[in-house]
Structure formats: C-alpha cells, structure tokens
Amino acid sequence: MTDNIFAGTPDNIDKAAALIADGGLVAFPTDTVYGLGANVYNAQAVASIYAAKGRPSFDPLISHIADIDFLAEYAVADSRALDLARRFWPGPLTFVLRRKDTNPALDLVCSGLPNIAVRMPNHPLALALIKKAGVPIAAPSANRFKCVSPTTAQHVADSLGDKVDMILDGGACQIGVETTIIDLTTPQIVILRAGGLSKEDLETYTGEKIALSTGNPDKPSAPGQLLRHYAPCKPLRINVLPAEVQPDEFYIGFGPMPKARLNLSVAADTKEAAANLFAYLRLAEADNATSRIAVAPIPQSGLGLAVNDRLRRASYRE
C-alpha cells in the first residue's frame, strides 16, 4: 500500500488544494474515473501531468469546474451549452467549446487547439477540491498513458506511484468509464467520445439527432480518440462467444454465461457493465494462469456504446 493515499477529509482536501496552488499533482475521484489534477493556469504543472502519464502533449486535457455560472467566463458558451449544462451537470458529460480565456498557460491544456474541453464532475470530493483550489483543474485519467483507467485510489497508486503528490480516496467510482464528450462548436451536436452519458439520453433531451465521430487519431480534437487506449498488458480479443474462448484466455462475459471467469453484468445491464469494465480488465490482467483476455459481445445501446469504444481501443494492435 502506497503512503500517498489519503481519506477525503476536509483537512486533506485543504492540503490537496494547497498542492494544486503550489503546482503539484493530485489524483482525485470523480463520478467516472479517478483524475490526475493540476492547476490549468500553471503550464509547468500541466506539463507534469503529461510527464507523469507518459502522455503526448498533442492529446488535449479536460478542465474540471465546480460552478455552472463559471462556464461562460471560461469558454464561449451560448444558450445551447448553458441549457445542456443546467440539465446534465454535474455529471458525466464534457463540452468542447471555443476558448474564451486567452491565458497562454491554457495552450498546453488545449494542445494548441482553439477549443477547450470542460466538465463539472458529479462527486462531492471533486467539487470540494475544485472550489477550495479556486481554479479549474486539468485532469485526464490518473493512470499511465494508454493503460487501463483507474476506478479506485489503489489503481492510481499501482499505476503512477510516487509520480502523484497526493491521492484523495473517495471510494470506487460509480460510473466507471470516462465522460461522454460532445462538440458544441458545430450546428449539429457531435459525440467525439462515447462515455458515461448515453447517446439516447442526449437525443431524448435535445430532440435532435446526435452525430458520432471517432476523430483523427493523429490529431485528436478531444481525449480518448487514439486508436489504442485503455489497454491491459495482455492481448485482448472482443466479441468472443463462449464456444470461441481459447484455453489461455481469461474470459469476461456479459449476460447469462455461467462459464465466464468474470461477468460484466449477468443481467445484461450496460450501466453495470460500464461500472465493472476497468476493474475486471485489471483482474484479468493480473491473472497468472492466462496469457490473453477475451470479452463477450456487448450491445451498442445505452452505455454499451462507451463500453465497446473502450474495448475496441484496448484491443487495437499497433
């Protein structure tokens, strides 16, 4: 057990906020996964995020805020963006908007792009930290680049160790996959990354058809668009039926599959599957009796869109 995991007490939140102010890195829980946070206005601190993760600086970061009213000060937010924020924030939804703040320190957060990604997480510890820090917090997932995302404080410690100044422990993340990212700089809303808010929920609320984009992996416009991402250290096969499982594979099922080593959701619930996904990939990765991982087919509806996105990228062979 690492010695930089701390309970999410008021005193420890104060210490974490002070670290953010001093240019340190703090890992903290959100509703989706644990984030690796730094002050967006401190370019050296933001550079430390990229260095700690081994993440290329052309892959932009998400800014986390704690007040909906602050959005219009930070980015070019029209009535559509503000309406969506009031409906879905705090929650697992990130907006890509035009930059408003011209502070050059934000160039690294935005990877030099004219847009900025912003979200408001639905976790009391995260919101308390952002408010106490008094600045937006840039935070990708708190793990090594391209590896399985963390849903517990121990996952962060196992992946990043002492590269993080402080890890705030808020328990297991409720949703378990990263945010849905939508582009609001275009007339039609475009999902740039499927995530914790379903396409169906967005379409039901807006009454509009939402487009899907996988982005350009060579020039990402949002996090999570690289061809290989979220990957365990073992080779991974997807859409594998029980009869197709090989002896050297750790099989992760979905739905009634009694022979699966682990099951994302026996009830075939895509929300439950999303919540279990990264933790189960870690368990399969750690199993010494198998050399590969196989995962059952997941429907493309609900959060299955996000689960399949993560599995597709995790299984990609470079």
Q: Where are the domains of the chain?
A: 5-212, 236-314
Q: In terms of Cα–Cα distance, which of 284, 255, 282, 285 is closest to 267?
A: 255
Residue 57 in tokens: 């600086």
The C-alpha angle 37, 42, 44, rounded to 5 degrees, equals 90
CATH superfamily of the 236-314 domain: Threonylcarbamoyl-AMP synthase, C-terminal domain (3.40.50.11030)
Spatial neighbors of 190 by CB under 8 A, at least 6 apart, are 182, 183, 210, 211, 212, 213
The domain over range 5-212 is classified in CATH as 3.90.870.10: yes
The C-alpha atoms of residue 284 and residue 230 are separated, in whole angstroms, by 14
Q: In terms of Cα–Cα distance, which of 105, 94, 97 is closest to 73?
A: 97
pLDDT digit string (tens) for the chain, length 318 residues: 468 999 999 999 999 999 999 999 999 999 999 999 999 999 999 999 999 999 988 889 999 999 999 999 999 999 999 999 999 999 999 999 999 877 887 899 999 899 999 999 999 999 999 999 999 999 999 999 989 999 999 999 999 999 999 999 999 999 999 999 999 999 999 999 999 999 999 999 999 999 998 777 767 777 877 778 888 999 999 999 999 999 999 999 999 998 899 999 999 999 999 999 999 999 999 999 999 999 999 999 999 999 999 999 999 887
H/E element, 38:
strand 35-39
CB 270, CB 237: distance < 8 Å: no
Lookup result for tokens 């995790």: 314
The C-alpha atoms of residue 85 and residue 155 are separated, in whole angstroms, by 30
